[in-house]
A = this chain, B = another copy of it.
């Protein structure tokens, strides 16, 4: 008898290990305008202006940068146990997480998904102050709320199939006759809560926050330009093919990738169809046809296992970057070169 999947509401919280908390604070709070709702010398809890929970992103000081966990909210308290049972039934490691282990998060379960990612499921969480209409507090890029996670993993098909079992539906893919290179999957009725980018993994590709309008994304660039610290701007701004969102990719002081994202579309109808891009379509990632910079395909944050140790990487046999090499103007890149990068 199949073990029922937990009812996942949305991507809700994440924790990144950062090596220099003050420098991270400068980037996330001073430059980009995330609200630091609580902090001390070891940890900062960040949230967007339109969020209701205590926080949606935790930056915690540690010796090596990495991804500690990606957390989903589930609909009922029982769904926490369902999550544990679902993963345990597949022989995957699970860990009970007492309420308060993360400030503001109730009892939860952490698991290691089949691809090596540290994933958490929680229901109870503390409400934060209602700042939706505190325009006097808004700064920087004015992030509204956490929107999604994107991870690098070598076998996108397998990841897609597993998360489909977990109840995620697929809004868009990049594929060809041979394989699927990337997939976007959702629980909340937006383009995604989780996306899988083919590449060496498990690594975090990025965490994305929704901002209200395109001009806030331009402002994030202007602010970073003003500080002469524009090395943080990795790719964009631009319009995505996949998702149709207006986007910007930034790299924080530890190299963790953040996406600022707005204007994707509603996917909540019962017959919502998956839209499939051909991997050769130059508009699939940037609708305006701009090249995807190599670092965007190759770099990501180390994933930490439930024991806190960095996960070893598994490489894909083929990657979108080499398949699409012509249109990205990179010249021929061998897989061996990719694996050394």
Binds B, one of A91-99, A148-156, A223-231, A306-314: A223-231
- Give the distance to chain B from A214, nearest Cβ to Cβ, in Å: 6
The residue that A287 contacts in the complex, of B225, B266, B289, with Cβ under 8 A, is B225
Point out the residues of chain B lying under 8 angstroms from A231, CB to CB. Answer: 289
Q: Is A61's CB within 8 Å of the partner chain B?
A: no
The distance in angstroms between the C-alpha atoms of A144 and B244, with both chains bound, is: 12
Name A271-292 residues within 8 Å CB distance of B.
271-273, 275, 282-283, 287-290
Pair B290/A244 contact, Cβ less than 8 Å: no
Point out the residues of chain B lying under 8 angstroms from A289, CB to CB. Answer: 225, 230-231, 233
Name A28-67 residues within 8 Å CB distance of B.
31, 50, 52-53
Q: Is A298's CB within 8 Å of the partner chain B?
A: no
Name A209-253 residues within 8 Å CB distance of B.
212-215, 218-219, 221-228, 230-231, 233, 237-239, 241, 244, 246
Q: Is A136's CB within 8 Å of the partner chain B?
A: yes
Point out the residues of chain B lying under 8 angstroms from A212, CB to CB. Answer: 263
The residue that A223 contacts in the complex, of B136, B189, B270, B275, with Cβ under 8 A, is B136
Name A134-167 residues within 8 Å CB distance of B.
134-137, 144-145
The distance in angstroms between the C-alpha atoms of A221 and B136, with both chains bound, is: 10
Q: Is A265's CB within 8 Å of the partner chain B?
A: yes
The distance in angstroms between the C-alpha atoms of A132 and B218, with both chains bound, is: 16
The distance in angstroms between the C-alpha atoms of A21 and B101, with both chains bound, is: 49
Q: Is A76's CB within 8 Å of the partner chain B?
A: yes
The distance in angstroms between the C-alpha atoms of A50 and B233, with both chains bound, is: 24
